Amino acid sequence: MATTADFKNGLYLNYNGKPCVIVWFQHVKPGKGPAFVKAKLRNLENGRILENTFTAGVKIDTISVERRPYQFLYDDGEAFNFMHEETYEQITLPHDVVENSDLMKAGQHVEMMFVTEPEERCLTCELPTYVTLEVTYSEPAVKGNTASTSALKEVELETGAKIMVPLFINTGDVITVNTSDRTYGQRV
């Protein structure tokens, strides 16, 4: 148990039965009336930002969260299979837990966030910021095609994902892709 005096950015707490993290908070002491704390919380299950006002001194439930390194093994059609990099323990996660899963290839290193109380469960599975993938299909660029349109074309990557890249990228090139916004990074 903690109080609003213990608030800090990055504190994990149980808010309305959901695991949340404090993104921003401000302690307010008005001229008259009791003090209060305004806070923005991010729900760890769905990523939504919630705003709430807590009365100063109110008790809150803190939760224990761990981040662990895993390696992606394979997709069995119903779920993804991962292995812990230190203990070699294997777990499976449903497809909806992993964001941008079409950018993930076998052997990819990921980081998972687990809530350990009351029972242990995985909240998120995050890919690294940039992944390196090979282009398996690319339409050839047409000379003079850049006058009226943006100089981008769609390519297919080795994982089956499709992204937009500059015209000079060809089949067989190895590129980096930003996993947060699915954009082209650079040619490797």
pLDDT digits (tens, 9 = 90+) for 26-55: 999 998 889 999 999 999 888 899 999 999
Q: What is the pLDDT of residue 124?
A: 85
Domains 2-62 and 130-187 in one fold: no
The full set of domain ranges for the chain reads 2-62, 67-114+122-126, 130-187
Q: Which CATH number describes the domain made up of 130-187?
A: 2.40.50.140
Strand partners, 55: 36
The secondary structure element, H or E, covering residue 109 is strand 109-115
Report the top-level CATH class of 67-114+122-126: mainly beta
Return the CATH fold of 2-62.
SH3 type barrels. (2.30.30)
Taking only the tens place, the pLDDT of each residue in 157-177 is 999 999 999 888 899 999 999
Q: What is the pLDDT of residue 149?
A: 57
* Residue 85 Rama label (left phi>0; alpha psi -120 to 50; beta): alpha
What distance in Å separates the CA atoms of residue 15 and residue 140, rounded to the nearest whole number?
Answer: 53
Q: Helix (H) and strand (E) counts for the chain?
A: 0, 16
The secondary structure element, H or E, covering residue 83 is strand 79-84
Taking only the tens place, the pLDDT of each residue in 103-159 is 999 999 999 989 887 778 888 888 999 999 999 998 887 766 666 556 788 999 999
* 6-22 average pLDDT score: 91
* Average pLDDT score, the chain: 89
